Amino acid sequence: MANSYIPLQMKVQRIEAEDPDRTLRTYDLTFVNESEKEAFKYLPGQFCEISILGKGESPFGIASSPTEPDYLRFTVNRTGSVTSDIHYLRNGDIVGMRGPLGNWYPVDDMKGMNVLIVGGGFAFTTLRSLLIYLLDSRDDYKDITVIYGARNPDLFIYKDEIAIWKQRDDIQFHLTIDKPVDGWNEKTGFVPTVTQEVAPSPEDTLAIVCGPPVMIKYTLPVLTELGFPDERIFTSLERRMKCGIGKCGRCNIGSKYICIDGPVFSMAELKNIPEAF
């Protein structure tokens, strides 16, 4: 069995700035070793540890879908040391990657169901993975509704794809920003409020929520109020991590390790982890 501490080598194939300040950048990475590419299997919701030699390692949600086999996509918000080093990367550079890590969104349970996807800010990464995955087998699912919020229009990631998704008549795609700005023709208001307004009936619907902790904290009760049972609400949690494989104890909350028991948890599970938020 491969040693899960040893990173695989990945080559930077494409870099795209997602916002005018260039603090959010998307990286498409390809496998240097073809046999490692073949062996790498993942599902939407999982994450990887990306490392820069001599600098450090950080976890990032996988933004590509398993149905896009040519590359692994990550979107990186520059916040500190490792993320700044990632932002210095150029096409052709080599990085380390350990993964896939953690669990995934319950894609099998979504078959034959309506799916509600609620996201905020740059945490839309794994939700992009999920949405592409669902759309690639569109007939397997009933209605798909997406609610995506950001502080302002510049901070939406994957803007070109959003424009395409909004044109499709087999998804309901709602965008919202916190405060009105000139020229904005979509919704205005916080994600929990918009969820209250546009969420589909909870009947036969599975809800996935991923975003900043404050957004998750206020959106989950709205879904409960709308009648979604705890077993059909899922969210993805973030904590500082080190090993990513349940060894170091860094990501522990209550009796769980976010890196192996999560990052995806149902609301029913979260009820037993009061420290989650």
Ligand X SMILES: Cc1cc2nc3c(=O)[nH]c(=O)nc-3n(C[C@H](O)[C@H](O)[C@H](O)COP(=O)(O)OP(=O)(O)OC[C@H]3O[C@@H](n4cnc5c(N)ncnc54)[C@H](O)[C@@H]3O)c2cc1C
Residues that bind ligand X (CB under 6 A): 47, 56, 58-61, 75-77, 79-83, 122, 125, 238-241, 263
Determine whether 69 is exposed, middle or buried from the number of CB atoms within 10 Å of its CB (0-12, 13-18, 19+).
Answer: exposed
Asked if residues 131 and 147 have their Cβ atoms less than 8 Å apart, the reply is: no
**Among ligand FES, ligand X, none, residue 244 binds (CB under 5-8 Å by kind):** ligand FES
CA–CA distance, 214 with 120 (Å, rounded to integer): 10
CA–CA distance, 197 with 212 (Å, rounded to integer): 20
- The residue count for binding ligand FES (CB under 6 A) is 12
DSSP-derived 3-state class of residue 18: coil
Residue 97 or 233: which CB sits closer to ligand FES? 97
CB of 101 to ligand FES, least distance (A): 9
The letter for the amino acid at 76 is V
Residue 226 or 273: which CB sits closer to ligand X? 273
**Among ligand FES, ligand X, none, residue 250 binds (CB under 5-8 Å by kind):** ligand FES
Q: Rule CB under 6 A: which of 235-274 touch ligand FES?
A: 241-244, 246-251, 257, 259
Residue 75 or 114: which CB sits closer to ligand X? 75
CA–CA distance, 53 with 206 (Å, rounded to integer): 41
Asked if residues 47 and 100 have their Cβ atoms less than 8 Å apart, the reply is: yes
**Among ligand FES, ligand X, none, residue 238 binds (CB under 5-8 Å by kind):** ligand X
Binding region for ligand FES (CB under 6 A): 241-244, 246-251, 257, 259
